Amino acid sequence: MLNRVILIGRLTKDPELRYTPSGVAVTQFTIAVDRPFTSQGGEREADFIPVVTWRQLAETCANYLRKGRLTAVEGRIQVRNYENNEGKRVYVTEVIADNVRFLESNREGGAGGGGQREEAAPFGGGGGGNTGRSSNLPRGNQNDPFSDDGKPIDISDDDLPF
């Protein structure tokens, strides 16, 4: 059996970070995901999907995600239920994320927003991939050989891999 979901959307508000009584971090946020079609009136519609992250990933999301930011979420769908104060059964469907990728740099341009892509690694430990937090890259474009300075790039045929 398989329960995997991948979503790309924008946060509807800043994430809410809380801690369980045992001290485990948990963050909740909602992402708006566009539907692949328009309504009869020609308007785009979206689904608003609740997302939950735990532990280190929760703290990372709380620190870096903000309302409106484009984000990719990978995880599983979970359905839980509880009885509310009126005695009615309430069902909640949410995505439990184990990987969140920040697809845009910080819009404020503050610390850490040097135009580099930031990604949050899965809480389960190194997935062997690049987490996007490479600190050995220079800030800005001072030493970037591919920065657009208005001049054409000279590439010989010997440099091409094909």
CA-based nearest residue to 116, from 90, 98, 136, 92: 136
| Token representation of residue 34 | 């566009």
CA–CA dist 49, 94 (Å, integer): 7
Q: Note the pLDDT of residue 13.
A: 92
Q: Note the pLDDT of residue 100.
A: 93
Q: Note the pLDDT of residue 81.
A: 93
pTM of the model: 0.63
Q: Note the pLDDT of residue 49.
A: 95
Fold of the CATH domain 1-35+44-114: OB fold (Dihydrolipoamide Acetyltransferase, E2P) (2.40.50)
Query: Structural domain boundaries of the chain?
Result: 1-35+44-114
CA-based nearest residue to 115, from 129, 99, 104: 104
Residues of the chain with pLDDT under 50: 108-141
Q: Note the pLDDT of residue 31.
A: 95
Q: What are phi and psi of 158, to 5 degrees?
A: -70, -20
CA-based nearest residue to 31, from 52, 54, 2, 17: 52
Q: Note the pLDDT of residue 104.
A: 78
Q: Note the pLDDT of residue 42.
A: 81
Report which residue type is found at 160.
Answer: L
Q: Note the pLDDT of residue 92.
A: 92
